[in-house]
Chains A and B, each alone.
Chain A
Amino acid sequence: MTAPALTVSPALQGAHGVSFAGAIRSEWIKLRSLRSTFWCAVIIVVLNVAVSPLLLAVLPADGLPSGPSTMSLVVSAITVGSGFTSLVAAVIGALTITGEYGTGMIRSTFAAVPKRLPALAAKAVVLVLAVFVVAAVSVTLSTLIVLAQASGRGLDLDLDGAFWLALLGDAGYLALIGLMALTVGAIVRNTAGAIATMVGLILVLPNVASLVSALARVTWLQNVGEFLPSTAGSRMYAYPSPGLDAVVQQAQPGAITLEPWQGLLVLLAWIVVLATIATILVRRRDV
């Protein structure tokens, strides 16, 4: 029995085997075609822009700093929204994968990319870039507002390398928290579970650690808290402030404060561990 030759549609010219570039295009189409992505991006920008003028606006004239701590205050004003916007970034990151598990879309995804890990990696790449761009836009707008405000109040501005690095770190922090939520989502496969886990890790645990360690004056707990993803990650967008560090040291001798690059490494370590668990589970599990 010889099968008749199949007619191939001319519209299929240019089609090829499954490729990583193809998987990235696919994930980009998926990310931008969901309303949740659009609204999360809007919330990140609006929230960040809305809260950034507050700090300088409420400080009385005699409370304004001078000298080296000026830039620390300016950076704090610009990045004050990150505590909230990082939660929104986590929601985007978690939804990237839990939305697929919840609807069954994951089966279509893994049928098209049966080795699975390229699909997961493509999600990660697209998510990190997208969140970084959105965060960069929101940080840029906040920076323009805060700098205008600061010069209006006669502050001495010194836009040095550490200043720009802190802003870059802020956008990078949001992107990495999004990525971390993606790995958590791949592990728990459930939107509510993934978001609850992220809220616990980046909001509840650090607060519990700092509250208890402050009340009970336990330095080791303070130091453990320093290595939590959001605390370590927040060092990425902190303007180095020797004065503040000295105050902390006086209050709690032996307390660790991570450098920005150390904070980045600690957050990356969290992501590497979670991503390793996620890849093992994703490869193995039935969908």
Chain B
Amino acid sequence: MIEVTDLTKTFGTTTAVDHVSFTVRPGMVTGFLGPNGAGKSTTMRMIVGLDRPTSGHARVNGVAYRQLRDPLRQVGILLDAKAVHTGRSARDHLAAMGATHGIGRARVDEVIALTGLESVARKRVGGFSLGMGQRLGIAAALLGDPRVLILDEPVNGLDPEGVVWVRTLARHLAGEGRTVFLSSHLMSEMAQTADHIIVLGRGRVIADAPVAAIVAQSSGGAVTVRSPQTAELSAAMTAAGGSVAAGENGALLVSNLAAARIGELAAQDRIVLHELTPVAGSLERAYMELTQGEAEYVSGGAPGTPPPPPTGAPIATGDPR
């Protein structure tokens, strides 16, 4: 369990984290999502006492991290930047970390095996690929068999096999009743891993809800319709109260009308349909809507880039207690 209360961090005149409050519960994977620079890493660093909050506080398992008597046994941390001395071997790094808590070589070798680092365990970390570095970071996080895992961008730099491995591991750890809190700036990754999502934009929580709720409230529900009689179809849809937009490759994107209704209307007017596909609201889309205008650096509308998606209804924040 991680409880963050009114956490704020300012660097000079910049507010990196702005009165953030949320709770991360055990037994599920909670995704921490937001564009780069949204304040995810700073929030995570404050949770584990590396950064000092300007105001507010964070507790892990009911205790401020700095007051934990056995932090490595309670919380496993993988931080965004490599937090490993490059001149030391992976095995020595883990042994040094474990020694603080009386965790011996047996457990070190166990996490090395668990993360598939056996072949490089005695090599110096400086020569590691990004993926191996991430695996070592995850091994360090698992060292104390902690109840809470805080993983900042765990799939960064991993190959597809590694990505699946992290996903499976996160699900497995949550299934054991642990608290799993992982950050990403990639929505697609979260859609496949997380049960619950907290979205951060410009230092503020802009959504805190189960994945399903976020998807459902996004402006989904459109239907892709393809027909050789585009003009007639478009007119019929508009007449029936639907709104029509141009889809891909000449298709129409109809919203406010159910797929069945569109089919009936087409049959009525004897319009030939080549495709009738409901478009599920995607987490990707919901995320884009949520973080619209929240990204620190918004790419300019260069010629040829698609227009930004329409802004949907605001999504309720606050956890569904």
- Residue numbers of A with Cβ under 8 A of B are 1, 3-9, 11-12, 14-19, 22-23, 25-27, 29-30, 33-36, 99-100, 103-108, 110-115, 119, 284, 286-287
Q: Using CB atoms, name the residue of chain B closest to A112.
A: B100
Pairwise interchain contact A112-B84, C-beta atoms closer than 8 A: no
CB contact between B145 and one of A9, A104, A111, A115 (< 8 Å): that residue? A9
Known: A100-B85, A105-B84, A286-B45. 8 other contacts (CB 8 A): A12-B103, A14-B102, A18-B69, A19-B100, A30-B92, A104-B82, A105-B85, A111-B50
- Give A104 to B84 CA distance when docked, in angstroms: 6
- Residues of B contacting A25 with CB < 8 Å? 99-100
Assess whether B185 is interfacial by the CB under 8 Å rule: no
Interface residue? B95 (CB, 8 A): yes
Complex Cα spacing A30 to B95, Å: 9
B51 touches A286 (CB 8 A): yes
CB contact under 8 A between A104 and B81, given known A11-B106, A14-B104, A287-B50: yes
Q: State whether the Cβ of B48 lies closer than 8 Å to any Cβ in chain A.
A: yes
Question: Are A111 and B71 within 8 A (Cβ)?
Answer: yes
Chain B interface residues toward A at CB < 8 A: 26-27, 45, 48-52, 65-66, 68-73, 77, 79, 81-89, 92-93, 95-104, 106-107, 109-110, 140, 144-145, 147, 175-178
Residues of chain A within 8 A of B99, CB atoms compared: 22, 25-26, 29
Is B97 within 8 A of A9, CB to CB? Answer: no
Q: Is the interface of B mostly helix, strand, loop or mixed?
A: loop
The answer, among A3, A34, A287, for a CB contact under 8 Å with B87, is: A34
Q: Shortest beta-carbon distance, A144 to chain B, in Å?
A: 34
Of B81, B84, B103, most A-chain CB atoms within 10 Å: B103
A17 touches B70 (CB 8 A): yes
Chain B residues with Cβ under 8 A from A114's Cβ?
48-49, 65-66, 68, 71
Known: A18-B72, A104-B82. A112 touches B88 (CB 8 A): no
Q: Are A29 and B96 in contact (CB under 8 A)?
A: yes
Contact of A6 among B49, B85, B140, B145 (CB under 8 A): B145
When distances are taken between beta carbons in the complex, the residues of chain A under 8 Å from B45 are 107, 286
**Chain A residues with CB below 8 A from B85, complex form:** 30, 34, 99-100, 103, 105
Chain A proximity of B140: nearest CB distance (Å): 7
CB-based nearest A residue for B11: A286
- Measured CB to CB, the nearest residue on chain B to A34 is B87
Known contacts A6-B147, A110-B49, A115-B66; A33 and B92 CB within 8 A of each other? yes
B203 to chain A minimum Cβ distance, whole angstroms, is 16
Contacts of A11 in B (CB 8 A): 104, 106-107, 109-110
The interface residues of chain B lying within 8 Å CB-to-CB of A35 are 87
Q: How far is the CA of A37 from the CA of B52 in the complex (A)?
A: 32
In the complex, A7→B232 CA distance in Å?
64
- B71 near A18 with CB under 8 A, answer yes
Known A6-B178, A18-B101, A22-B100; contact A99-B87, beta-carbon cutoff 8 A: yes
A112/B72 contact (C-beta < 8 A), A105-B84, A286-B52 known: yes
Alpha-carbon distance A17/B88, docked complex (angstroms):
25
Q: Chain A contacts of B96 at CB under 8 A?
A: 26-27, 29-30, 33
